[in-house]
């Protein structure tokens, strides 16, 4: 379940693996994983030096140094996607869906047990034809408190609005539940006022930054590009803790379905 902090961590830990290297080819093992109008062989007809890695919402980005029609790659890891740089002697696993071949013989595997994840080439035409990219809301760590409150203000349950990537990019079930608990806002609350949404932004920024410092949350599948687990799962106040005592008041945490997602919250501390 890589959300913003996990994808940010993967981008940072992947950077050394691509630094100074070039992409020489892309091998697609699962056809559905390559969701791009550009054939993978056309991404690097000649070796393409890498420039950097990055992130937009939950998308992992890899950019090329030279200017070409295709200037980078985007990966959505969805729930079970993983990125593994590996030396030339390591063979792909049964869940390897796509392989990036590098000029030193090493490879970067994109594994995804559930096949929900995908990769795309980034070109101006590809982006123009990609509604998801074009509808992504601002980054929560870059938007102001006031702008955040404006975007989240509305009729639907606040958790649904927080999860909607059109409003704010990069928030998934974990950081939605954790930030709502810290802000004392019930996930099903509607018409939450601007002041309380400002508090939600404060808490969201804090929880995201702490999770980034801790290299993300590893529940089961997520690992950094180095293969390490994150540690923020040890700091969860509510996520995955239905029935356990609330960290603030000690009453049992409620597990319910909100915005079509499993949601854990405290009925006493969150209003």
Structure tokens that stand for 171 in this block: 């928030």
Closest of 83, 80, 47 to residue 66, by C-alpha:
47
Residue recorded with tokens 């030096």: 49
Is 6 in the active site? Answer: no
Closer of 14 and 163 to DNA (Cβ):
163
Q: Least distance to DNA from the beta carbon of 193, Å? A: 16
Q: Least distance to DNA from the beta carbon of 243, Å? A: 12
Is 196 in the active site? Answer: no
Catalytic residue among 21, 48, 58, 223: 58
Q: What is the CA radius of gyration of the chain?
A: 20
Is 12 in the active site? Answer: no
Closer of 17 and 168 to DNA (Cβ):
168
Catalytic residue among 12, 78, 241, 261: 261
Site residues for DNA per CB under 7 A: 1, 3, 32, 57-58, 76, 78-79, 94-95, 113-116, 131-132, 154-157, 160, 163, 165, 172-174, 220, 259-262
Phi–psi pair at 205, nearest 5 degrees? -60, -45
Q: Least distance to DNA from the beta carbon of 66, Å? A: 29
Closest of 24, 3, 26, 9 to residue 96, by C-alpha:
26
Q: Least distance to DNA from the beta carbon of 21, Å? A: 28
The full length of the chain comes to 271
Is 58 in the active site? Answer: yes
DSSP 141: T
User: What is the DSSP track for 18-76?
Assistant: HTT-EEEEEEESSGGGB--SS-GGGT-SS-EEEEEEEEETTEEEEEESS--SEEEEEEE
Closer of 115 and 206 to DNA (Cβ):
115
- What residues are labeled active site? 2-3, 58, 261
């Amino acid at each position: 379940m890589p959300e913003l902090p996990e994808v940010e961590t993967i981008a940072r830990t992947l950077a050394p693996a691509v630094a100074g290297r070039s992409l020489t080819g892309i091998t697609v093992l699962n056809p559905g994983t390559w969701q791009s109008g550009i054939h993978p062989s056309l991404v690097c007809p000649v070796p393409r030096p890498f420039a950097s890695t990055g992130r937009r919402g939950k998308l992992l980005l890899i950019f090329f140094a030279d200017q070409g029609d295709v200037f980078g790659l985007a990966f959505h890891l969805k729930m079970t996607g993983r990125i593994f740089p590996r030396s030339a002697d390591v063979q792909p696993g049964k869940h390897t869906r796509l392989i990036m071949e590098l000029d030193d013989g090493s490879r970067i595997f994109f594994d995804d047990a559930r096949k929900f994840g995908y990769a795309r080439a980034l070109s101006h035409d590809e982006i123009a034809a990609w509604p998801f990219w074009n509808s992504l809301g601002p980054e929560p760590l870059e938007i102001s408190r006031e702008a955040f409150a404006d975007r989240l203000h509305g009729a639907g349950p606040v958790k649904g609005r927080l999860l909607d990537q059109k409003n704010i990019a990069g928030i998934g079930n974990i950081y939605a539940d954790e930030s709502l608990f810290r802000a004392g806002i019930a996930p099903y609350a509607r018409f939450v006022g601007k002041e309380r949404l400002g508090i939600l932004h404060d808490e969201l920024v804090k929880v995201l930054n702490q999770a980034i410092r801790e290299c993300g949350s590893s529940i089961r599948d997520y690992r950094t590009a180095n293969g390490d687990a994150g540690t923020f799962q040890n700091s969860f106040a509510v996520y995955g803790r239905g029935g356990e005592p609330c960290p603030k008041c000690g009453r049992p945490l409620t597990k319910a379905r909100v915005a079509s997602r499993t949601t854990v919250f405290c009925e006493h501390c969150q209003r």
